[in-house]
Chains A and B, each alone.
Chain A
Amino acid sequence: MSVLIYADSHHGKFPKSSLEAVSYGAAIAASRGTTSVVLTIGTLQGDGGLGKAGAQKVLNASSVHTTDSQQLSRLVVAAAQAQNADVIIFSHDIAGKMIAPRVAARLDAGLIPGATSLPASEGAFKIKKNVFSGKAIAELEVTTSKKVITLLPNSFSVKTDGQDAPVEAFQADLGNTTLKVKEVKSEEKEGEIPLPEADLVVSAGRGLKGPENWGIVETLAHELGAATACSRPVSDIGWRPHHEHVGQTGITIRPNLYIAIGISGAIQHLAGVNGSKTIVVINKDPEAPFFKAADYGIVGDAFEVLPKLIEAAKAYNASK
């Protein structure tokens, strides 16, 4: 038996969410007395750092570059069969949401999407996940012999003390697809931290009054090494790009620190950020509902508060 982890890479690197899935899978393998095997596609340098994160063996399908769910799920199913895997792990990222359901359906395996805990150490295979957009937690039991789990990003620490892992070439028949990729439109900026990956996020809303005022938000984010985000109205009126919109209809993030500036804290916005470990709210309206969800609050005008924060962050950086 083994635990198979599919680790997605981006520009040849494994993002934190993928390494979290590897460490999570390694912990499950250790508790079940089995081996953690990581499956990757595309070019791999050495073991890609996957051994340190907990992989005991790496399977590399180096010639595979497809982004098609049908072909990738065939690859994962073939690896699961070859490795006699009874637990298959993905991150609950874009690749995991795309491939894991297909793999679960193919193997007739119960799937826990967006898991936030390790399986219970004794008895039935029980795992926790967030439900009702983070407003509750459900514990679910997988009742099938094979199990598929997608791990919610920022729910498990990346292990860094593992040994280098042996890498084996892996191939499988991917079959046909009727899907053709015509183009990839990148919205990434050089040096910018991708929002879903960010540990620290500085976010602003309509309280900033106009797109020309975002300089202070970006400066604060830069000083803290944070990514920038925004509320829905701000992306709807085009002040900020769509991929920065966090909230129920935008993206859901769970950073260690979320600083919300000039955002009132509508329930739809909270649904996208309520998993953040520490929430700071800066708003000139002391009645803003967001303060109820905040760990720290500053009642004040953003244009007066932010320069003070930037100055303090600069002093903090200089003292490090």
Chain B
Amino acid sequence: MKILVCISKAPDTTSKIAFTEGNTKFDENGVQFIVNPYDEWYALVRALEIKEAQGGNVTILSVGGADYEPIIRKALAIGADDAVRIDAQESDSLYVAKQIAEYAKDKGFDIIMCGKETINYNGSVVPGMVAELLDLPYIPLAVKLDVNAGVATLEREVNGGLEVVEVTGSFVLSAAKGMAEQRIPNMRGIMAARTKPLQVVPAFAAETSTKLVSYDLPPAKGACKYIDAEQAGDLIRILHEEAKVI
């Protein structure tokens, strides 16, 4: 099995969200970056489990600048074999998808895995675009993946339940909770990651299709109005008369 796992970097969940340069740039000052959790906990770990059971190779792919290298090394420390960084600014989703597809098109990957969305841009679209650009099947929101004799069986979230699908040949998936459990890299993994191959390839020529105008913070919530626990029933009246939600 030759598996490509695409990882993105994201600010740690507890980061303070602020913007600079006239609200056009995320303020990275003091922000801790992590591997996007869906990419790491679910996609990467399941890829490694399949490799450990059946042999093969797990390659990490990121689209981004040199500041991506710490998170790529983390993915290598968890157990990936090698990594590729496409040296391009991750500007919009179609641009990123074109970079990934252009790199992957002649490498013969059996599975291309991504997380279900990034926790910073919450788009959920790059893997579907990669699938279309490579003309491959796409299984979004996959919670289970097994591979047996070249046939992959997956479970994916659908309205009101799960759909079990089988696919032969190469495909793209996005991984959701349930696919695997988080792995903490051990010291041996961290040492080994330092010398694992990390290839930097130049950006492929592509146009962007969207551009950021500005960021804004949501309007601040008013203070919480407290209702005495003894008079809890009053809440129902307030929800009807004041909040007008029932």
A contact residues vs B (CB 8 Å cutoff): 8, 10, 15, 67-70, 73, 92-94, 97-106, 108-114, 124, 126, 129-144, 177-188, 194, 199-200, 224, 242-243, 245, 248-250, 256-257, 267-268, 271, 277-278, 280-282, 291-301, 304-305, 308-309, 311-313, 315-316
Contacts and interface: CB of A to CB of B under 8 A. Distances in A.
Given A249-B37, A294-B224, A180 B167 contact: yes
A296 B229 CA distance: 12
Interface in B133-183: 133, 135, 137-141, 153, 155, 157-169, 171, 177-178
Looking at B14, B17, B128, B165, which has the most chain A CB atoms within 10 Å of its CB? B128
Nearest to B41: A249
Nearest to A71: B137
B200 interface: no
Contacts of A301: 229
Interface string B83-115: 000000000111001000000000000000000
A295 B233 contact: no
Contacts of A181: 163-165
Interface in B203-246: 208-218, 221-222, 224-229, 232-240, 243, 245-246
B79 interface: no
Nearest to B228: A298
Interface residues of B, number: 81
A230 B37 CA distance: 21
B123 interface: yes
* Prevailing SS type, chain B contact patch: mixed
A60 B101 CA distance: 33
Contact of A298 (B168, B218, B226): B226
A131 B216 CA distance: 10
A278 B19 contact: no
A256 B245 CA distance: 6
Nearest to B124: A97
Contact of A135 (B17, B208, B213): B17
A185 B162 contact: yes
B143 to A, nearest CB: 9
Contacts of A183: 163-164
Given A97-B141, A248-B13, A305-B229, A140 B213 contact: yes
B216 A139 contact: yes
Contacts of A268: 13
Contact of A308 (B139, B157, B169, B233): B233
Given A104-B94, A143-B209, A316-B236, A97 B125 contact: yes
Given A296-B238, A296-B243, A133 B128 contact: no
B237 A316 contact: yes
Given A111-B125, A295-B221, A194 B160 contact: yes
